[in-house]
Chain A
Amino acid sequence: MEKFAPVKRSEDGQPVRYLIVDDSVFARKNLARMVETFGGQVVGEAGDGVSAISEYERLTPDIVLMDITMPQMEGIEAAEKIVRDHPSARIVMVSSVGYQENIVAALQRGARHFVQKPVKPEVLYEVIKYVMRDDGVTVRSAGAGA
Chain B
Amino acid sequence: MRMDLIQPFINSTDAVLAQGLGSPISIENLSMEEEAYRRKGIAAEVILMGEIEGRIIFDADLGASLQLASRLAGVEVSETDEDLVREAVLELANQIIGNAITTLNDQGFHFHVRPPTLHTSEQGSKSSEDTEALVMCFNTSSGNVFMNVALRHHCRQAVEHTAIAG
**A contacts, CB < 8 Å to B:** 1, 23-27, 29-30, 33, 69-71, 95-102, 116-118, 120
Contacts and interface: CB of A to CB of B under 8 A. Distances in A.
B87 interface: yes
Contacts of B95: 96, 117-118
Contacts of A120: 19
B106 A96 contact: no
Interface stretch (B49-57, B97-105, B120-128): B97-105
B84 interface: yes
Contacts of A100: 105-106
A99 B106 contact: yes
Contacts, number: 66
A43 to B, nearest CB: 21
B161 to A, nearest CB: 14
A134 B113 CA distance: 38
Contact of B98 (A25, A71, A97): A97
Interface of B: 16, 19-20, 72-74, 83-84, 87-88, 90-91, 94-99, 101-103, 105-106, 113-115
Given A1-B74, A69-B113, A99-B102, A24 B97 contact: no
A70 B96 CA distance: 17
A96 B97 contact: yes
Contacts of B91: 24, 26-27, 30
The 10 closest A-B pairs by CB, nearest first: A96-B98, A99-B105, A26-B87, A97-B98, A96-B95, A99-B102, A26-B91, A24-B91, A117-B95, A98-B102
Contact of A30 (B16, B72, B98): B72
A26 B88 contact: yes
Contacts of B19: 118, 120
Contacts of A117: 94-95, 98-99
B98 A24 contact: no
17 contacts: A24-B91, A25-B87, A26-B87, A26-B88, A26-B90, A27-B91, A30-B91, A69-B94, A96-B94, A97-B98, A97-B105, A98-B98, A99-B102, A100-B105, A100-B106, A118-B20, A118-B95
Contacts of A99: 101-103, 105-106
Contact of B105 (A33, A69, A101): A101
A98 B95 CA distance: 10
* Best-buried of B73, B97, B103, B115 by chain A (most CB within 10 Å): B115
